[in-house]
Amino acid sequence: MLTLASKLKRDDGVKGPRASNPASDSTRRVSVRDKLLVKEVAELEANLPCTCKVNFPDPNKLHYFQLTVIPDEGYYQGGKFQFEIEVPDAYNMVTF
């Protein structure tokens, strides 16, 4: 995660011909998503119960992660439930 945060800071500091490139507009949208995810992933990890674990196969791609839930009580005690989560590019930009 620190790698992504460092990359985002470097990208913010870059000026010049890159800003006029049409491809940079889609990159900018991804950067907005990734900026939000840096903050929200830190909050998620701080508040996650001990029965849940988050795994980032690639720490540079916060928009894709795996969540494992292992309940320690109740009907599903002893079970192991794995979820793969992919946050879309339009995250936090779409209203319903």
Q: Write out pLDDT tens, residues 25-36.
A: 444 444 578 888
- Rounded mean pLDDT, 71-95: 89
Provide the pairing of β-strand 81-86 with 52-55: unpaired
8 pLDDT more than 80 = no
Residues 6+ apart with CB under 8 A from 93: 29, 32, 33
5 pLDDT more than 80 = no
* pLDDT, the chain, mean: 77
64 pLDDT more than 90 = yes
**Domain coordinates of the chain in residue numbers?**
2-86
**2-86 topology per CATH:** Ubiquitin Conjugating Enzyme (3.10.110)
